[in-house]
Structure 1
Amino acid sequence: MAIYALSDLHLSFKRAVTLYDIDPVQDIEKPMDLFGWDRHYEKIRDHWLRVVSQDDTVLIPGDISWAMKLEVARFDFGWISQLPGKKVLSPGNHCYYVSSKKKVRAALPERMEWIDADYTLVEGKVVAGTRGWTLPGDRFFKEDEDRKIYERQVGRLRIALEAAQKDHPDKEKIVMLHFPPITKTSTESGFMDVMKEFGVRMCIYGHLHGKAGEDAIQGEVDGITLRLVACDAVDFCPVKIRD
């Protein structure tokens, strides 16, 4: 009963498909070939089937589907549901189909759970999640546009961890973010501050691809193990983070 993580699946099925019955011309809305991800869903499928069992859980922190509407995202959720294990999902910056947690949760197949500014329990451990945001100091951070969103997302992580601490003060805490909680250019990170305050042991994140992924900060920082789990950074294979 292990815990795995894999983010940025970037699926875009046009209809309900099975794991092995996919026509890339007719069934894929947005092929990822342009980014060198040729038939990447097959790589995800094959690795997932090899390493994940029905008793395991896979954490998926964001950018799950390219869909703009929830009724289309259902096709991607359905494909994921055919893979082994329980799945815990949280939002990314491309999850445009999300209008409310309630609606997304109602659309999910069995053994799939959505968290955002809240938490769930996985194998006796707390898993808290929110989207995150671009950090101050990042070259894309614009003070007048991003500051409020950044601070709101820090607050949402605090809400999740406060609830978890109240309900389960002695359980290990894992955080799933889409954006990295720290970068080489960060001048501040409220996400790191909040995680340290609540004794978080591990944070998984995605969002960074290609060269950006090569520059990602990973390993232990201030007592928190950081791990980039974006698909292309881990060869499209779910990464075991806890036995």
Structure 2
Amino acid sequence: MALYAISDLHLSFTDDKPMDVFGEVWVNHDERIRANWLAKIREEDTVLLGGDLSWSMTLQEAVKELDFIAALPGRKIAIKGNHDYWWSSITKLNGMYDNISFIQNNFFTWENTAICGTRGWVCQGSEKFTEADAPIYRREGIRLENSLKAARAAGYQDIIAMIHYPPMNEYGQDSVFTDLMEQYGVRKVIYGHLHGQALKNVFQGLRNGVEYIMTSGDFIQFDPVLIEKGIE
């Protein structure tokens, strides 16, 4: 019953998006994901998917990538990434697969732990943050709080959260996301989004009582990271 995590699969089976243009680490990365997954993930395990699952633009196109994920062992819990344009009605998504659950204003569980999350956005104080980002940033904060509130209302005290974007800016400053993680007593946060030169901004470890874990595919060599062992 172990819990693993991996973000940024960036699968592309329906269009011409060769990821190796981003470096040798991306050569045949889908094959490496599958091989690493099969080597460690069992049917009774759960894998957290931190967004950017597919390059497809529509759900119809993304079915090939989602089928690939569904065929791998274990239960999967996913959030949206900034490139997941195929992401449609959450009700429709959650009716598609028996072993993939999608988070948007809701939560799922692993053992006695609530799994919450949202996509996130560029954080205030970042050099990249513009006036146009402000409403999206606020909306993503609301979505994260909706997910956390739902878990608390259902009686869950132990929470692990996912967010696609880094939950703080490149200067490590507080954000609506870090504030909410602390306010709701989130124990661990899984995030991704960063690649290449941006990996210099990775933060891992404890911050105000919350453990942050970076799981971008290229950062972890496309090998799902063990988050917790769980009860056997």
Same fold per TM (> 0.5)? yes
CA contact (8 A) 1:183 1:217 kept: no
1:194 aligns with 2:166: no
Q: Does the residue aligned with 2:65 lie in a helix, a strand or coil?
A: helix
Q: What fraction of aligned residue pairs are identical, expressed as a percent?
A: 41
Alpha-carbon shift at residue 186 of structure 1 (Å): 4.9
Deviation for aligned residue 1:102: 1.8
| Distance (whole Å) between structure 2 residues aligned to residue 79 and residue 13 of structure 1 | 9
Give the aligned partner of residue 4 of structure 2. Answer: 4
8 Å contact from structure 1 (residues 64, 95) kept in 2: yes
- Distance between the aligned counterparts of 1:231 and 1:113, measured in 2? 20
Q: Deviations over 1:135-193 (max 9, x none)?
A: 01111110x201111011111111111111111243x1000000011133254401011
Distance in 2 separating the partners of 1:64 and 1:187: 28
Match of 2:36 in 1: 47
CA distance in 1, matches of 2:57, 2:86: 5
1:212 counterpart = 2:198: yes
**Within 1, Cα distance between the matches of 2:141 and 2:204?**
20
**1:164 is matched with which residue?**
151
Partner of 1:31: 18
1:107-146 equivalences in 2 (<5 Å): 108-142=96-130, 144-146=131-133
Match of 1:236 among 187, 198, 222: 222
Q: Which residue identity does 1:232 align to in structure 2?
A: D
Match for 2:66 among 61, 77, 94?
A: 77
Q: Which amino acid aligns with 1:8?
A: D
Distance 2:120 2:16 in 1: 27
Residue type of the alignment partner of 1:86: R
Number of residue pairs aligned between Structure 1 and Structure 2? 227
Q: Structure 2: which amino acid aligns with 1:135?
A: C
Give the aligned residue type for 1:5: A
Residue pair 2:124, 2:169 contacting (<8 A) in 1 also: no
Matches within 5 A, 1:55-66: 55-66=44-55
- CA offset at residue 202 of structure 1? 0.3
Aligned residues of 1:136 and 1:186 also touching (Cα < 8 A): no
Contact 2:161–2:188 (CA under 8 A) maintained in structure 1 = yes
State yes or no: 1:203 paired with 2:189.
Answer: yes
1:30: Cα distance to partner? 1.3
Amino acid at match of 1:126: A
CA RMSD between the two structures:
1.2
Structure 1 moving runs of 4+ over 4 Å: none
SS at match of 1:118: coil
